[in-house]
Amino acid sequence: MINIPSTFRISFRALRVNKMRSALTMLGIIIGVGAVIAMLAVGTGASKKIAEQISSMGSNLLIILPGATTAGGVRMGAGTQPTLTLGDADAIQKECPAVSDVAPVHNGVAQVIYGHQNWSTGVVGTTPSMLIVRDWTLAAGRNFTEQDVKSATKVCLLGQSVVDNLFGDMDPIGQFIRIKNLPFTVIGVLAPKGQSAQGQDQDDTILVPVTTAQKKLFGTSFPGMVRTIMVKAKSTEDLAPAEKQVNELLRQRHHIGPKQENDFTVRNLTQIMQTAEQSTKVMTLLLGAIASVSLLVGGIGIMNIMLVSVTERTREIGIRMAIGAKTWDIRLQFIIEALTLSLIGGVAGIILGISGSELISVFAGWSTVISPLSILLAFGFSGMVGIFFGFYPAYKASLLDPIDALRYE
Amino acid sequence: MAIIEAQEITKVYRLGDIDVNALGGVSLTIKEGEFLAVMGPSGSGKSTFMNILGCLDKPTGGKYLLENIDIGDLNRDELAAIRNKKIGFVFQGFNLLPRTSALENVELPMLYDGIPAKERRELALKALKNVGLEGRGDHHPNQLSGGQQQRVAIARALVNSAPIILADEPTGNLDTKTSAEIMEILVKLNTQSNITIILVTHETDIAAYSKRIIKFLDGLIISDEQVGRS
């Protein structure tokens, strides 16, 4: 019969007697558990940030860029050859079943003036469906309408950063701002989105009807030209079909022969971001695995000290055996000692890990997320390390011959 | 009634390539309530014999019955249980756990017998009182004199109501006066509680406390005589 509470007391006492040694042994586990928690927090923080960026970009998004021009054998970058039109955008909307919404974009940079304030920002000419395509909501006011697009009215929606720079605390709705010296009525304010994956301020923008941008702000090389077309697929599963449909439709519309290259490019940003998210997850796993190694090393430290302890206390083991301790009484005593070391180390490690990841997020500016699961995992793992590495010394102790152990000096 | 019955016990140790015959066929019967002194020079086999009687070691040959239980049939844990229930050990070097209070030292055998904490405490306090150490339960071994430590050891041997106490040179580390006190306690336990006491000693005046003296030489019993207690 073994008495667990008393065995715990015996173990605690043994650890208290050698305070310094116990603390140093625990240090391995403390650092191990702390590292696991901090590393997982950094990794989880990174993937969470990417997930946020994906959703801020707009989900299930395809971006169609015009093709590259070739001038005297020198190929220019994507978008240098204007090939996309408003007609393409309408056709995609009408003829691609996997597509839910389409927003053509004709944009440029312009100086914007309100009262004494002025600000240079990106002005995006588009259609009302832009808000749907990019999962954007309005913080105030209203969206512009198809009618605004048809008649190229001078109305605009402001991003939060533009509002901050031009209006400060004032309510911009109904005010007039000047874009390239033309007066525009502010009819709405976009809800803030924050930084994009590339670190751009997505709120530093102004939306105007695409026709207004074409005819009054930036001009076009030919009528109806747009710089890009943004396409939202109906669902994530529809992304690939949508990409295919858009490709086929545009090749047909642009009269591209079977062997000719596309004069446009379709980019699947969601896919790129998902790949990034995947690699972050792998990274997290890797970081956690590396940190686990230090936990393992801590466990070996425990085993080392427990072996020393068994040798030192050979006589005590002999006394206990003579008095009637059975094999498992002795084993449990030493296993519980190892377990106590590793669990106390585990708790201290959790505290270290949490404060460590706080420090990382404060000083390195990385977002860290401590999941309860990682705490549970690290704690459970440290307990297992204690049992695993405590077992061999305990096993050794239980095999001692009582007579030899009693005579041990 | 015979509490211990040893029949033709032999013990052979292997030291390298040589077999050492520590015991060459020892037979001995001890009745309940006896006070036995075992004497003999070192190397005579008396320690080996005591280890076997104490169930710390098994004989190579022969048969050892303790309260009619054949010890040769038992495994390691069963032997531990026998030691726990039937035998109280008192050693020359006291063998108390260091950094552990007297009370907890006395409680130890009961811990391995699964006795509840409250009962353990009561019985341990009673046993300490029995050896004249009332109020010393909180002291650690290094705060106690040799005589006091040996009393704690006796209390520990008593506490599980073992019918046998094996005392291996219990006075070897004590001065004459303290030795006499310890022996008085053993005599008292023998006469008042009818505990069988087996005492190993090589001092004649200590052996004189017993009622029967057995002498070992070269692995054999060479004399076995009843003596009157002085």
* Token representation of residue A70: 């070739």
> How sure is the predictor about B191, in pLDDT bands with cuts at 50, 70 and 90?
very high
Q: What is the CATH number of the domain that holds B130?
A: 3.40.50.300
Quick check: B84 and A403 CB within 8 A? no
Which residues have C-beta within 8 Å of that of residue A190, sequence separation ≥ 6?
A136, A137, A138, A139, A157, A158, A159, A160, A203, A205, A207
CB contact under 8 A, B95 and A320: no
**B166 part of a folded domain:** yes
Q: Take residue B112 and report the two structure tokens written for it.
A: 């391995």
Per-residue confidence (pLDDT) for residue A74, from 0 to 100: 64
The alpha carbon of residue B152 is apart from the nearest alpha carbon of chain A, in Å, by 14
Note which residues in 168-197 of chain B have CB less than 8 A from chain A: none
Q: Which residue on chain A is closest to B82 by alpha carbon?
A: A324
Last residue of a domain, one of A215, A233, A251: A233
pLDDT value of residue A281: 85
Contact B81 A321 (CB under 8 A): no
Number of A to B CB contacts under 8 A, please give it: 62
Q: Which domain holds residue A328?
A: 4-53+275-407
B182 inside domain: yes
| A204 shares a domain with A107 | yes
B13 close to A (CB below 8 A): no
Is A243 part of any domain?
no
B114 touches chain A (CB under 8 A): yes
HSE on the CB side for A205, CA within 13 Å? 23
Q: Looking at beta carbons, which residues of chain B come within 8 Å of A406?
A: 56, 91, 95
At A197 the pLDDT is: 65
Identity of the residue in B97, B98, B114 whose CB atom sits nearest the CB atom of A1: B114
CB contact under 8 A, A3 and B95: no
Interface test with B, best of A312, A319, A330 (most B CBs within 10 A): A319
- Let me know whether A229 and A279 are in one domain: no
What's the gap in Å between the CA of B228 and the closest CA on chain A? 32
Q: Is B20 on the interface with A (CB under 8 A)?
A: no
CA distances from A109 to A112, A123, A401 (A): 9, 6, 88
**Same-domain check for residues A281 and A401:** yes
Same domain for A48 and A106, yes or no, is no
Per-residue pLDDT, A81: 66
Residue B68 — left, alpha, or beta (φ > 0 → left; ψ -120 to 50 → alpha)?
A: left
Minimum-distance CB partner of B97 among A1, A6, A316: A316
What pLDDT does residue A2 have? 61
Q: Is residue B70 part of a domain?
A: no
- Whether A326 sits inside 8 A of B95 (CB atoms) is no
Contact yes or no for B95 and A329 at CB 8 A: no
Domain count for chain B: 1
Range of the domain at B198: 34-46+82-226
Closest partner residue to B113 among A1, A13, A402, by Cβ?
A: A1
**Predicted local distance difference test score (pLDDT) of residue B147:** 93
Within a domain: residue B122? yes
Answer yes or no: do B56 and A320 touch at CB < 8 A.
no
Q: Using an 8 Å CB-CB cutoff, list chain A residues near B91.
A: 406
Per-residue pLDDT tens for B125-166?
Answer: 999 999 999 989 999 999 999 999 999 999 999 999 999 999
pLDDT of residue B230: 46
Residues 148-167 of B with CB under 8 A from A: 156, 160
Which residues are A207's β-sheet partners? A124, A157
Q: How far is A309 from chain B (nearest CA, A)?
A: 14
Residue B170 lies inside a defined structural domain of this protein:
yes
Per-residue pLDDT tens digits for B109-126:
998 888 888 999 999 999
Instruction: Report the C-alpha gap between A65 and A86 in whole angstroms.
Output: 13
User: Hey, are the CB atoms on B112 and A323 less than 8 Å from each other?
Assistant: yes
Whether the predicted pLDDT of B69 surpasses 60? yes
Q: Do B113 and A406 touch (CB under 8 A)?
A: no
A228 with A309, same domain: the answer is no
Q: Which residues of chain A have pLDDT under 50?
A: 1
Helix, coil or strand: residue B163: coil
- Measured between alpha carbons, how far is residue A403 from residues A322, A406, B47, B106, B167 in Å? 8, 5, 11, 21, 15
CA distance B15 to chain A (A): 15
Same domain, A321 and A202: no
Same domain? A227 vs A121: yes
Best mutation target, B48, B79, B97, B168, to test chain A (most A CBs within 10 A): B97
Question: Cα distance from A304 to chain B (closest Cα, Å)?
Answer: 23
CA A213 to CA A124: how far, in whole Å? 7
Nearest to A323 among B98, B100, B108 (CB): B108
> Do A228 and A297 fall into the same domain?
no
> What is the tens place of the pLDDT at every residue in B6-33?
999 999 988 888 888 899 999 999 999 9
Q: What is the reported pLDDT for A272?
A: 75
In a domain, B16, yes or no: no
C-beta of residue B129 within 8 angstroms of C-beta of residue B152: no
3-state class (DSSP) for residue B148: helix
Look at residue A291 and tell me if it is in a domain. Answer: yes
Please give the helix or strand (H or E) that residue B50 lies within, else none.
Answer: helix B46-53
Q: State the CB neighbour count (10 A cutoff) for residue A138.
A: 14
Question: Which residue of B81, B97, B100 is in closest CB contact with A324?
Answer: B81
Minimal CA separation from B230 to chain A, in Å: 32
Q: pTM of the prediction?
A: 0.72
Residues of B in contact with A321 (CB under 8 A): 80
Half-sphere exposure of B224 (CA within 13 A, CB side): 7
Local structure of A34: helix, strand or coil: helix
**Res B46 pLDDT > 60:** yes
Residues of B in contact with A323 (CB under 8 A): 83-84, 89, 108-109, 112, 156
pLDDT digits (tens, 9 = 90+) for A202-228: 889 999 999 999 988 888 878 888 889
CA angle B66, B72, B78 (to 5 degrees): 75
Q: How far apart are CA A234 and CA A100, in angstroms?
A: 5
Q: Does the pLDDT of residue B90 top 80, yes or no? A: yes
Search chain A and give the residue with CA nearest B106. Answer: A323
Note whether A302 and A370 are same-domain residues: yes
Q: Is residue B162 part of a domain?
A: yes
Render pLDDT for A162-172 as a digit per residue (tens, 0 to 9): 999 898 888 89
- Asked if the C-beta of B95 comes within 8 angstroms of chain A's C-beta atoms, the answer is yes
**Best mutation target, B56, B74, B113, B200, to test chain A (most A CBs within 10 A):** B56
Q: What residues of B are in contact with residue A1 (Cβ under 8 Å)?
A: 112-114
Instruction: Using alpha carbons, select from A345, A348, A342, A323 the residue that is nearest to residue A388.
Output: A342
In a domain, B203, yes or no: yes
Extract the tokens encoding A307.
């072996």
